[in-house]
Homo-oligomer: A and B are copies of this chain.
Amino acid sequence: MADFETVAKQFVEFYYKTFDENRANLAALYRDNSMLTFEAQPTLGTAAIVEKLQNLPFQQVQHRADTVDSQPSADDGIMVMVTGALMVDGQDRPMSYTQTFQLKRDGGSWYVFNDLFRLVYPAA
C-alpha cells in the first residue's frame, strides 16, 4: 500500500491535471459529503462543487503546484497542503494560491472530504 506522501503527490498531480484539462471530470474526486470553501464561499456535495468549479470566471487555467506537504490525519485520512501558482486565460501574470485537501478512503480509492482554496496576495 502506498504511503501517505506518495498518495498525496499522486493526488495533487492528478487533481490539477484534471482541473486544467476538463473541470467536469473532477466530479469523480468528490462525494456527497465533500466540502469546498473557495475564496470564502462554502459549497457542499459533488454536484454543487463541480458546478462552482465549472462556473469560475475563466475558460483556461493552468495550475503549478510548487510545494506539497502531507500528514496522516484523523480517521485514516490524509491532509495535503499545496502552495503554487496559477495562470488564467493566457494572462501573463501568475497568481499565488494555497489549497488544503483532506482525503478520505472510499474502498480502494481516495476522495476529497475537505477542500479549502485561497489566492494569496503579496504581503504589504
Q: A: which residues have CB within 8 A of B?
A: 35, 37, 40, 42, 67, 69-75, 77, 79, 81, 83, 85-86, 93-96, 98, 100, 102, 104, 113-114, 116, 118, 120-124
Contacts and interface: CB of A to CB of B under 8 A. Distances in A.
Contact of A69 (B83, B95, B118): B118
A73 B116 CA distance: 12
A81 B97 CA distance: 12
Contact of A73 (B85, B86, B113, B124): B113
A74 B118 contact: no
Contacts of A118: 67, 69, 81, 83, 98
A80 to B, nearest CB: 9
Contact of A40 (B40, B69, B72): B69
Contacts of A86: 123
A114 B102 CA distance: 11
Contacts of A120: 83, 96, 98, 120
14 contacts: A37-B69, A37-B81, A42-B71, A69-B116, A69-B118, A74-B104, A79-B102, A81-B100, A86-B123, A93-B123, A96-B122, A98-B118, A98-B120, A100-B100
